[in-house]
Amino acid sequence: MQQLSDFSYILKFGNNNYTLLKEMIELFIEKAPEDLSLAKKYIEAKDWQNAHHHLHSLKSSINFVACEQIRSKVLAIEQNTKHLENVESIPNNFIELEILCAQLIEELNSKLATL
∠ at Cα 10 (112, 65), nearest 5°? Answer: 80
Find how far residue 57's CA is from the centre of its chain: 9
| CA–CA distances in Å: residue 80 to residues 11, 16, 71, 88, 95 | 32, 37, 14, 10, 15
Give the pLDDT of residue 109: 92
Which tens digits make up the pLDDT trace of 28-87? 899 999 999 999 999 999 999 999 999 999 988 888 776 788 999 999 999 999 999 999
Average pLDDT for residues 6-17, to the nearest whole number?
72
Q: Domain 7-109 classified CATH 1.20.120?
A: yes
Instruction: With cut-offs at 50, 70 and 90, classify the pLDDT of residue 1.
Output: low
**Phi, psi at 111, each rounded to 5°:** -65, -40
**Rg of the chain taking only CA atoms, in angstroms:** 14
pTM, two decimals, is: 0.88
Instruction: Parse the chain into domains and list their residue ranges.
Output: 7-109
Measured distance CA(6)–CA(53) in Å, rounded: 25
**At residue 91, does pLDDT exceed 90?**
yes
